[in-house]
Chains A and B, each alone.
Chain A
Amino acid sequence: MSGTYDVVIIGGGMSGMMAAIALTDMGRKIAVVSRGDPVCCLSTGCIDVLANGNDPLEGIGSLPDNHPYHLVGKDAVKASLEMFKAVMSEEGGAYVGDAHANRRILTPLGRHKVTCLVPGTMEFADFHSDEYIHVISFNKMKDFYPNYITSNYKNAGCSIFDAGISTTIGIAERFENRQFLEGFISWLKGLDIPEGRIAIPAVLGMHFAVDVCNEISVELGRNVFEIPTLPPSMPGLRLFGALKNALLKRGVDLYWGKEIYSVEKSGSQIEAVTLAGAGRSARVQGNAFILATGSFVSGGLHASMDTARETVFDLPVYLPGKRKSWFNDDFFAPGHAIEKSGICVDQSFRPVDTEIDNLFVCGSILAFSEVMKYSCGHGIAIATGVAAANVCGEPV
Chain B
Amino acid sequence: MEFDFQHCIRCTICVANCPVSRVNPEFPGPKQAGPDAERFRSDDETSIDKWIRLCNQCKRCEVACPYGVNPAEIILREQVRYGGKHFRPLASRVFANNYWLGAVSSVIAPVVNSLSPMKFIKRLLNVFGISTYLPFPRFHVHTLSRSWRWKGRRRSQKKVVFFYGCFLNYNRPDLGRNIRDFLASLGLRVIMPGQVCCGLPALGNGDIETARKFARKNARILAGYIDRGYDVIYSCTSCGLALTQDYPGILDVPDGKKVSENSYNLHEYVLKLMEEHYIEPVFESFHRKVAYHIPCHLRALGIGYPAAKLFEKIPGLETHILEDNCCGLSGSYGFKRSNEETAVKLGIIAGHAIKDVDPDMLVSDCGACRMQLAHFSGISAVDPSEILIKSLKRETQ
Interface of A toward B, CB cutoff 8 Å: 1-3, 31, 35-39, 41-42, 165-167, 169-170, 173, 231-232, 237, 241, 248, 251, 253-259, 275, 277-280, 282, 284, 298-299
Interface of B toward A, CB cutoff 8 Å: 11-13, 15-17, 21-23, 25, 62-68, 243-245, 248-249, 257, 259-264, 271, 274-275, 299-305, 308-309, 312-313, 321, 323-324
Are A167 and B25 within 8 A (Cβ)?
Answer: yes
Q: Name the residue on A nearest B302 (C-beta).
A: A258
Expressed in whole angstroms, the Cα–Cα distance for A32 and B262 within the complex equals 25
Among B62, B274, B308, the residue within 8 A (CB) of A257 is B62
Q: How far is the CB of A377 from chain B (nearest CB, A)?
A: 15
Residues of A within 8 A of B301 (CB): 277
Q: How far is the CB of B63 from chain A (nearest CB, A)?
A: 3
Are B303 and A282 within 8 A (Cβ)?
Answer: yes
Q: Name the residue on B nearest A3 (C-beta).
A: B275
Are B13 and A280 within 8 A (Cβ)?
Answer: no
Q: How far is the CB of A127 from chain B (nearest CB, A)?
A: 29
Apart from A37-B16, A167-B25, A277-B303: 4 A-B pairs, beta carbons within 8 A: A36-B64, A254-B323, A279-B263, A282-B303
Residues of B within 8 A of A284 (CB): 304
19 A-B pairs with CB atoms under 8 Å apart are A2-B275, A2-B309, A35-B66, A36-B64, A36-B65, A37-B65, A165-B25, A169-B22, A173-B22, A241-B324, A253-B308, A254-B323, A257-B62, A257-B63, A257-B65, A258-B302, A278-B245, A279-B243, A279-B260
Are B302 and A275 within 8 A (Cβ)?
Answer: yes
Residues of B within 8 A of A36 (CB): 13, 63-67
| Closest CB pairs A-B (n = 9) | A279-B260, A36-B66, A257-B63, A258-B302, A278-B245, A279-B244, A3-B275, A279-B261, A232-B16
Are A256 and B299 within 8 A (Cβ)?
Answer: yes
Among A173, A282, A299, the residue within 8 A (CB) of B302 is A282
Among B63, B271, B308, the residue within 8 A (CB) of A3 is B271
Among B13, B275, B313, the residue within 8 A (CB) of A42 is B13
Residues of B within 8 A of A165 (CB): 25
Are A169 and B21 within 8 A (Cβ)?
Answer: yes
Residues of A within 8 A of B25 (CB): 165-167, 170
Expressed in whole angstroms, the Cα–Cα distance for A36 and B16 within the complex equals 13
Q: How far is the CB of A140 from chain B (nearest CB, A)?
A: 11
Expressed in whole angstroms, the Cα–Cα distance for A42 and B11 within the complex equals 7
Expressed in whole angstroms, the Cα–Cα distance for A308 and B262 within the complex equals 36
Among A31, A167, A170, A277, the residue within 8 A (CB) of B244 is A277
Residues of A within 8 A of B12 (CB): 42, 231-232
Q: Known contacts being A2-B275, A280-B262, is A237 close to B16, with CB within 8 Å?
A: yes
Q: How far is the CB of A44 from chain B (nearest CB, A)?
A: 14
Are A278 and B244 within 8 A (Cβ)?
Answer: yes
Residues of A within 8 A of B300 (CB): 257
Are B15 and A232 within 8 A (Cβ)?
Answer: yes
Are A254 and B64 within 8 A (Cβ)?
Answer: no
Expressed in whole angstroms, the Cα–Cα distance for A279 and B312 within the complex equals 27
